C-alpha cells in the first residue's frame, strides 16, 4: 500500500510510515485498500472489451486472408490445370508426329531397296492374308532391326509370330491413346485399295504418283481397337471418306495426323478438313485439292 501522507510504498498493515513517520489509522488503511480494489476492478472491466476487440479483429483478419486465398486459388488453379493439359497434349502430338516421321524414313528406305512402297498386305499363294506392311519395314526402322523375332515364312498369327508380336512397338502407337501396348493395338494404318500408294495388289513407286508425292496420303491415324499391329489389315480407300471411330480418327481432340508420300506429316483438322480428302488418297486421280 501507499502512505496517505507521503505516497511512499509501505507494507500492508503498517501503523507508522517509515519514511514520514506518520501514524496511519485503520480508517486510512481501509480507505487506501478500497481505492486500490476499485482501481483493479476498473482496469479489469476496461481490459475485457479491449481483449474481445483484439480477438475479433485477429479472427476477422484470418478469415479475410483465408477467403482471399480461396479466391486466388479458384482463379489460378484452373488456369494451371488447363496449361498443364495443353502442354501434355502438345507433347503427345509432337511425339505422334515423331513416330510417323520414323515410319516415313523406314518406308523411304524400303522403297530405295525394293523399288516401290510396301504393299499394305501380303497374301499367300492360296490368297490368305500373310503379313502387314508394319512388319515388312521392321528392318528399316531406327532402333528396331533384330528386336522383333518375326518369321516371314509363317502367317502373322502363327504361334511363333503371335508370341513375337504380343507388345506393340512404341513407334506404331500414338502416345495419346490409352490402349495399344498391352493389347497389341496399332494407331497408324495404310490406305489400301485401287490407286492407293500402298495398294496390296500393286504398290506404287514414287514415279507412279502423278498427283505429286507431296499431295498424296499414304498413312493415317486410326483408332480401331480390334486391329493388331502385325495384322494384315488396314483402311480400305473406299471407306476412308469420313471420320469414324474405326476409320479416320485419333485421340487428338482437333484432328488426325497423316503421312504424305514425300514423308511430310500433316495434321488434318476435323472442323475444316477439305471435302477433297479422298482425292488425296489416290496417285493419279488428277483431283485439284485446295491447299495442295
pLDDT of residue 155: 96
Q: For 124, which DSSP code? A: -
The conformation of residue 209, written as its DSSP 8-state character, comes to: -
Q: What's the confidence (pLDDT) of residue 46?
A: 46
Bridge-based pairing of strands 217-221 and 235-236 is unpaired
CA distance 196 to 175: 27
β strands within 13-79, DSSP E: none
Cα–Cα distance, 203 to 279 (Å, whole number): 17
pTM beyond cutoff 0.85: no
Q: pLDDT digit string (tens) for 149-194? A: 999 999 999 999 999 998 889 899 888 766 544 568 888 999 999 9
| Distance from C-alpha of 213 to C-alpha of 207, rounded to nearest angstrom | 9
Q: How far apart are CA 283 and CA 209, in angstroms?
A: 5
Which residue numbers in the chain have pLDDT < 70?
A: 1-2, 4-5, 7, 10, 12-15, 18-19, 21-22, 24, 26-54, 56, 77-90, 177-183, 242-247, 271-276, 291-292
pLDDT of residue 99: 94
∠ CA(97), CA(98), CA(104), 5° rounding? 90
Which pLDDT value is given to residue 178?
60
Burial of 42 (0-12, 13-18, 19+ CB in 10 A): exposed
* pLDDT on residue 34: 64
Q: What is the pLDDT of residue 151?
A: 95
Residue appearing with cell numbers 502407337:
173
Alpha-carbon separation of residue 137 from 102, 131, 148, 227, 237 (angstroms): 11, 11, 11, 18, 21
* pLDDT for the residue numbered 180: 44
**H/E element, 55:** helix 26-114
Residue 255, SS3 per DSSP: strand
Amino acid at each position: 500500500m501507499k502512505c496517505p501522507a507521503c505516497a511512499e510504498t509501505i507494507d500492508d498493515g503498517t501503523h507508522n510510515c517509515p519514511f514520514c513517520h506518520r501514524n496511519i489509522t485503520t480508517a486510512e488503511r481501509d480507505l487506501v485498500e478500497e481505492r486500490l480494489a476499485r482501481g483493479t476492478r476498473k482496469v479489469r472491466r476496461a481490459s475485457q472489451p479491449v481483449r474481445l476487440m483484439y480477438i475479433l479483429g485477429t479472427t476477422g483478419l484470418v478469415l479475410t486472408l483465408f477467403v482471399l486465398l480461396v479466391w486466388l486459388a479458384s482463379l489460378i488453379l484452373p488456369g494451371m490445370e488447363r496449361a498443364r493439359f495443353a502442354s501434355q497434349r502438345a507433347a503427345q502430338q509432337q511425339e505422334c508426329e515423331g513416330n510417323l516421321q520414323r515410319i516415313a524414313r523406314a518406308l523411304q528406305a524400303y522403297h530405295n531397296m525394293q523399288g516401290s512402297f510396301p504393299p499394305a498386305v501380303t497374301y499367300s499363294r492360296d490368297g490368305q492374308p500373310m503379313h502387314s506392311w508394319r512388319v515388312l519395314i521392321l528392318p528399316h526402322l531406327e532402333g528396331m532391326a533384330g528386336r522383333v523375332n518375326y518369321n516371314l515364312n509363317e502367317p502373322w498369327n502363327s504361334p511363333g509370330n503371335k508370341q513375337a508380336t504380343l507388345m506393340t512397338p512404341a513407334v506404331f502407337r500414338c502416345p495419346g491413346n490409352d490402349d495399344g501396348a498391352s493389347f497389341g493395338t496399332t494407331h497408324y494404318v495404310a490406305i489400301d485399295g485401287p490407286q492407293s500408294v500402298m495398294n496390296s495388289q500393286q504398290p506404287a513407286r514414287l514415279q507412279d504418283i502423278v498427283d505429286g508425292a507431296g499431295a498424296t496420303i499414304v498413312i493415317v491415324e486410326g483408332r480401331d481397337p480390334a486391329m493388331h499391329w502385325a495384322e494384315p489389315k488396314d483402311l480400305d480407300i473406299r471407306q476412308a471418306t469420313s471420320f469414324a471411330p474405326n476409320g479416320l480418327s485419333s485421340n487428338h481432340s482437333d484432328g488426325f495426323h497423316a503421312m504424305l508420300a514425300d514423308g511430310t506429316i500433316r495434321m488434318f483438322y476435323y472442323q475444316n478438313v477439305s471435302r477433297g480428302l479422298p482425292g488425296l488418297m489416290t496417285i493419279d486421280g488428277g483431283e485439284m485439292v485446295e491447299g495442295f
